[in-house]
Amino acid sequence: MVGFPGAELSETQPISRDIVEFGLGGVILFNRCLHDPSRSANISSAVQLRELCRSLQELAGGRLLIGVDQEGGAVRRLRPEAGFAEVCSASSMGAASDTGRTREAARITAQMLSEAGCTINFAPVVDIDVNADNPVIGALGRSFSDDPARVAAHAATWIKAHRERSILSCVKHFPGHGSSSSDSHLGFVDVTDSWSELELIPYRDLYSRNLIDAVMTGHLYNRRIDPDFPATMSTRTISGLLRSEIGYDGVVFSDDLQMRAIAGRYPFEEAVCRTLAAGVDILVFGNNLDYDPDICPKTIEAVVAGINAGRVSEAILEHALRRVRRLKRKMTVRT
């Protein structure tokens, strides 16, 4: 899943080549072009976004995952200044006495995404608000609550409302970003001394009720789970904790592999291969913090080299492909 600049699609753009020639499986959309603010991003109005998604699906034969971060509050790509409805933060939803506010916010959000042609929302955040000063979760109001059961209840409501409108949801950031004191966009994040198994409760609860469409990893290092690698690259965390212990066998997305917690510490090919080998099914390159027009063919080259060197097995890729195909069968494409 790759990001790209621009509000319109043309045959000469690298993203068009990636879809047609390389079989790219998904795109992620942004409302700001962070690597070059002078360039237009993907979202300027409802009409424009609908046409962009239609053009993307037409190129892909209707098989493209089109993802967006539309949590509400501080993190939303479809914003009021572009004509979209205002949606409050998760912390505001979670502060209500019941899940009614969450249901309404999720209904509005899912309707916007459905009308636009997006297929998957990278929400809800199921991180526990353990550290209210957490610069990337608590301080931005992205967590429903400091109570795991309350987080699970609001997340369940959010996911059900999205399913009613055939929009996939992706819970994040496994195994829990709420207790961190730093931002993985900017660098290494160690939660060894702050994380607890309480942060797994929403995942266990939602899984037990068949309410997880997909999971996104966090670039979080926890030596109590894996002394060597952050969660995104950790076999113990993904294949072990998430798949074997919790029992989840659906699609796992990486968080953006261009975030400094990964890109600043690991060579590109190693990051790609270790992430796949750990059990991640879809590699996400936002292509927004930094832009590389050839990120898709470079990733393919890295995977092929990893297979040839024995760092990635074909069996792991086949399992990932089956899970992705299963997820895409749940997808509704509007043209």
The pLDDT score that the predictor gives to residue 184 is 58
pLDDT given at position 50: 97
CA angle 144, 136, 211 (to 5 degrees): 40
Scanning the chain, the segments in alpha helix (DSSP H) are: 14-22, 46-60, 90-94, 100-116, 148-164, 201-208, 235, 260-263, 268-278, 295-309, 314-328
State the Cα–Cα distance between residues 95 and 88, nearest whole angstrom: 11
CA atoms within 13 A of residue 287's CA, in its CB half-sphere? 25
Residue type, 263: A
Q: How many residues does the chain have?
A: 335
Q: Of 69, 129, 183, 255, which is the active-site residue?
A: 255
pLDDT tens profile 166-182: 999 999 999 999 999 86
Q: What is the mean pLDDT of residues 19-39?
A: 96
Q: How far is CA 137 from CA 146, 183, 259, 311, in A?
A: 11, 9, 16, 34
- What is the separation of C-alpha 42 from the centre of its chain, rounded to a whole number of angstroms? 17
> Per residue in 125-139, is it b (16+ CB within 10 Å) or e — as a string?
bbbbbbbeebebbbe
What was the pLDDT predicted at 189? 85
Is position 219 annotated as part of the catalytic site? no
Catalytic residue check, 173:
no
Task: Give tens-digit pLDDT for 42-92.
Answer: 999 999 999 999 999 999 999 999 999 999 999 999 999 999 999 999 999
Neighbouring residues of 129: CB distance < 8 A, sequence distance ≥ 6: 91, 137, 138, 143, 144, 145, 146, 178
Nearest residue to 117 (alpha-carbon basis) of 62, 169, 61: 62
Strand partners, 125: 172
Q: Which fold has domain 14-328?
A: TIM Barrel (3.20.20)
Answer yes or no: is pLDDT of 259 > 70.
Answer: yes
As separate numbers, helices (DSSP H) first and strands (DSSP E) second, the chain gives: 11, 9
Per-residue confidence band for 331, with pLDDT thresholds at 50, 70 and 90: confident
Q: Determine if residue 232 is left, alpha or beta; phi over 0 gives left, psi from -120 to 50 gives alpha, anything else beta.
A: alpha
Per-residue model confidence as pLDDT tens digits over 91-121: 999 999 999 999 999 999 999 999 999 999 9
Judge whether 56 and 27 are in contact, CB under 8 Å: yes
Domain boundaries, the chain: 14-328
Question: Mean of the pLDDT values across residues 155-164?
Answer: 98
What three-state secondary structure class fits 295?
Answer: helix
What pLDDT does residue 187 have? Answer: 59
Give the predicted TM-score (pTM) of the model. Answer: 0.96
162, 173, 177, 185: the active-site residue: 185
Q: Indicate if the pLDDT at residue 186 is higher than 60.
A: no
